[in-house]
Amino acid sequence: MALEIATFGGGCFWCTEAVFQQIRGIKSVEPGYSGGQVDDPSYDQICEGSTGHAEVVRLIFDNAAVSYKALVEIFFAIHDPTTLNRQGSDVGTQYRSVIFCQSEEQKICAAAVMADVATKWEKPIVTAIEMAPMFYPAEDYHHNYFKMNSQQRYCTLVVAPKVAKARQFFSGSLSSR
């Protein structure tokens, strides 16, 4: 088993976590913060928007079961990569679209996928592709948020539709867990 790491920021990490938890070959999905100047930031600091960090998910995945390229394709399908520093009503640099790469190979792959999907969008893609900085895990109550809070208003209005979209488009890649 060849385990690798992928890190994506595509708006609220509750959404991206819920989607990626369904994908076959992903061993763990951890919400957290990355890309800013503050060491070990809190959620409250992130929400203020002054840390420079983005809400991200760090995936541990089996590259023999799901490719990095497939994960990048899923990432681009589950959020709007054309909106700068926002996803829906979530606004601020903490909700920016970003791919934090673990290697030069990931960076090349992410750029190639982004160039391919750019032809499918009317507006230019604003997703940043950068080498991965330090990752800080989010507080425990953010882990498995959708699974634990599926009836919460934000989850029913925002997270659930993204999960449903992923199920529709990526049914062949879904895990049986």
pLDDT digits (tens, 9 = 90+) for 63-81: 999 999 999 999 999 999 9
Count of residues in the chain: 177
Question: Considering 12, 15, 109, 155, which one is annotated as catalytic?
Answer: 12
How many angstroms separate the CA atoms of 44 and 97, rounded?
Answer: 20
* Poorest-pLDDT segment among 93-102, 122-131, 146-155: 146-155
| CATH number assigned to the domain covering 3-173 | 3.30.1060.10
Dig out the tokens for 125 from the structure. Answer: 């893609």
What residue ranges do the domains of the chain occupy? 3-173
Nearest partner of 13 among 136, 168, 125, judged by Cα: 136
Tell me what pLDDT residue 177 has.
47
Residue 12 designated active-site: yes
State pLDDT tens for residues 159-168: 998 888 888 7
Nearest partner of 145 among 155, 136, 135, 153, judged by Cα: 155
Query: What's the pLDDT band for 173 if we cut at 50, 70, 90?
Result: low
Of these ranges, 80-89, 135-144, 168-177, the one predicted with the greatest mean pLDDT is 135-144
How many angstroms separate the CA atoms of 164 and 19, rounded?
Answer: 9
Alpha helices by DSSP H, listed for the chain, are 13-20, 43-48, 68-77, 104-118, 145-148, 153-154, 160-169
